[in-house]
Amino acid sequence: MEGTGHLDEPAQAELEEQASKLFSGRVDFLLSAPQLKFLPEPTVPEIAFCGRSNVGKSSLLNALTGRKAIARASVTPGRTQELNFFEVGEPTLLRLVDMPGYGFAKAPPKVVERWKELVRTFLRGRQVLVRTLVLVDSRHGLKDVDRTMMQMLDEAAVGYRIVLTKTDKIKASELDTVAAATEAEARKHIAAYPLVHRTSAEKGMGIAELRAAVLSDAGV
C-alpha cells in the first residue's frame, strides 16, 4: 500500500484517521528564516517539503493541512529564498518546513548559490529534520534539478520520499510509467524511500496516505 508501505489495512486506516484529526486541528505559520541564525529552536520533529518551482508545493501543503492558503505560491520562480516553518498540533507536535523552490530559470547566479548554501547547511545541521518530501510534477517526471536535490539529501543522510504531484493531469497509463521509472531511480539513492507517492491536491488523491506517512515519519 502507498501509505507507509508496511502496514496492514486496519493499521493504515487508523493511522490515516489519526493524521486527519491532527491536521484538522491547529496548524499555524511560525516564522520565515532567510538565514540559519533565524531558525526556530529544534524542539520537535520537522518534515521538509521541496521541489522545482511551480511543482505544486503550496497547493499540496494547503491540501495536507486542509487550509486554503496556509502556504502561498511565489509569483516569480526562485523569488522565495526562505525556509518557512509551520507548527502542527496543540501543543506543537511537529513542524512542516516549506523550502524555497529550485530550478531557477531567471534567478541570478548569486541567488542560486545563496539558495544552495542555505539548503545544504540546513539539511546537514538540522538534527530534528526526520524526513524530506521531494515533490515531482508527474507530467514531467524527474529532472536534473531534482536529481541534484536528491544527491544533496543523500550526502546529508536525510531520508526522503518522492511525491508525484498533479496526477489528475495525466492518463493513468502514463502515470504508471512515470511512477515506475521514478521508483526505479529512487532505488539507486541511499536515502530515498523506495515507494513513490501519487497525489493530486486538486482532487484530493493520495492526500490521506501522505498525511499518514508524515505522521509516521515524525513519530508522534
| Among 190, 164, 161, residue whose Cα is nearest residue 179 | 164
Question: How are beta strands 129-137 and 94-98 bridged, if at all?
Answer: unpaired
pLDDT at 5: 54
Q: Quick one: cell of 177?
A: 510509467
pLDDT at 198: 98
Q: What are the residue boundaries of the structural domains of the chain, listed by start?
A: 9-218
pLDDT at 2: 40
Helix (H, G, I), strand (E, B) or coil at 192: strand
Give the DSSP H or E segment for 2. Answer: none
Q: Quick one: cell of 169?
A: 493531469
pLDDT at 82: 86
pLDDT at 105: 61
User: What residues pair up with 28 in beta bridges, in sequence order?
Assistant: 87
Q: Are 86 and 95 in contact (CB under 8 A)?
A: yes
pLDDT at 3: 41
pLDDT, tens digit only, all 220 positions of the chain? 344 556 788 899 999 999 999 999 999 999 999 889 999 999 999 999 999 988 999 899 999 999 887 766 554 545 557 899 999 999 999 999 999 888 766 678 887 888 888 899 999 999 999 999 999 999 999 999 999 999 999 999 999 999 999 999 999 999 999 999 999 999 999 999 999 999 999 999 999 999 999 999 999 8
Question: How many Cβ atoms from other residues are within 10 Å of residue 79's Cβ?
Answer: 14
User: C-alpha distances in angstroms, 89 versus 16, 27, 67, 207?
Assistant: 16, 6, 14, 18
| Among 75, 60, 78, 73, residue whose Cα is nearest residue 23 | 60
**Residue tagged 550526502 (cell numbers):** 155
Q: Are 28 and 86 in contact (CB under 8 A)?
A: yes
- The top-level CATH class assigned to 9-218 is alpha beta
pLDDT at 112: 80
Q: Are 156 and 132 in contact (CB under 8 A)?
A: no
